[in-house]
Amino acid sequence: MRRVVVLLMFVGLGRATAQEILPGFYFETGSTALSQAMLNRLAFGGYISPEIVSKSESKWKGADLSSGAIYEWSLGMNSRPVDLKDSSRQLEFQGVHVAKFGGFGAQHSGDALKLAFRGNLPYVGETLELGRNRLLAYSGFGLQSEFKYKSHYVGFGVANYSSYRSFETHDMVFSTDSAAERLSMNGQWSSVNASGNNVALQGYYRWSHVKNDGGKFHYWSATVYNIGFVHLSKAQVESRGAQWDLNKGFRPLAWQGTDEVQWSQSVLAPRDLQVSDWLTNKKDTLIQGLDILDQERSGWVLTPFRAQFMHNTGSFTAVVTYRNLPGFAPRLSFSHGFNAGFKSGRSMGFSPAISLGGWDTYDINFQFWLLKYNTEEPMNRLSVNVSLQGLEAWVAPQNQHGAGASLYIGYRI
């Protein structure tokens, strides 16, 4: 991979160019049901105490809740012409970047959260309608190059998804009798678990247009980022009540009805009344009763891409974002930019914003940028861009949900 990066850095450098190094990171979390304190521990690890769970449980209602988190560490190298007016070449090499990325997206019911975080004992004598739930979690490492043709930017890349997991349920029901002696469950599910070297072929496209008519500035852009397909090799697939194509695919052709399965608690001595002991005694009975289909499959699936449309008027910006992840609704963001200071060789500003949708209901955001440059040269020497998403969740993580941050630095060498 190192040789590929070096070769791409020198593609199209037949005229004077400036190289700009761009390190950065980005993370985002969101939910309509989980507090930020829970999201932080789910995304980055940590103990979720009963107190944290109890503060979120009041929001675990309904069958169409969502949660998710994503992160990316990246290092880019951009190539820019020194003479910006030189348009002798219509096809220009823009640069390359490498990134380590990961995340998850989930669409779930409130009852599914109850069973996952509190178990069945608090709901003895009740039936939990788990319903339909979807989860996709992934992580990997990628390389991408970018080229410009007039107002079009096109990129091609490869990635290795070291982990790719999906899980979905249909019509799931779970109950415990009032004496806590018998458990019953019904419903269908399927899970896909692929690890190791899962190669993805993915692309990048951005169209941009600028109009300045009589001092009225407008900028439009439409972007599709990391869209492509990842090949899952020898993925482990488990399912119940799913009908499969014999040759390919990770989506069941159809779902068929299943029978309710019941288990009785094992008769154990008081000192052995632990969940681990009960599972050890009942493991074979559980698996046999559920009639799980276990198979190994290979094939292609769509990557977790991002699509975005932007309109900027110089001070006001509107952005619509969509991510191909479970539970993520199209997100609409509005922001207004302010110039905080400008003098020869330096400018800085900030931009408050509000966004609606995504994995969350709303977020209050803030962005700050700094540009420092040499007035005798056309290229910026240093740029810093910092953003915070979900300020309300940063201030009150126990009660609010949905937060994120990013830092990108550009330095010309």
- pLDDT score for 288: 64
Total domain count, the chain: 1
Helix/strand/coil for 137: strand
Closest CA relative to residue 79, chosen from 8, 155, 135? 8
Closest CA relative to residue 349, chosen from 357, 358, 340? 340
Q: How far apart are CA 142 and CA 1, in angstroms?
A: 10
H or E, element range at 229 = strand 216-240
H or E, element range at 237 = strand 216-240
Closest CA relative to residue 323, chosen from 364, 366, 292, 357? 357
- pLDDT score for 333: 97
What is the domain range of residue 213?
Answer: 2-412
The token pair that represents 3 in the structure block: 């040789």
Closest CA relative to residue 363, chosen from 392, 343, 337, 341? 392
Phi, psi of 376 (to 5 degrees): -90, -5
Q: How far apart are CA 277 and CA 268, in angstroms?
A: 9
- pLDDT score for 238: 93
On whether the CB atoms of residues 402 and 363 are closer than 8 A, the answer is: yes
- 259-284 residues labelled b (16+ CB within 10 A) or e (exposed): eebebebeeeeeeeeeeeebeeebee
Phi, psi of 269 (to 5 degrees): -65, 155
What one-character DSSP code corresponds to residue 258? -
On whether the CB atoms of residues 135 and 168 are closer than 8 A, the answer is: yes
- 146-159 residues labelled b (16+ CB within 10 A) or e (exposed): bbbeeeebbbebeb
Half-sphere exposure of 224 (CA within 13 A, CB side): 10
The token pair that represents 239 in the structure block: 């399912």
Blockwise average pLDDT, block size 10, the chain, 413 residues: 40 56 94 92 85 88 93 88 53 89 95 89 88 95 91 92 95 87 89 93 92 85 95 93 86 89 65 49 60 90 96 92 96 92 83 95 94 72 93 92 94 80
On whether the CB atoms of residues 202 and 157 are closer than 8 A, the answer is: yes
The alpha-helical segments, DSSP class H, found in 33-184 are 36-44, 50-56, 110-118
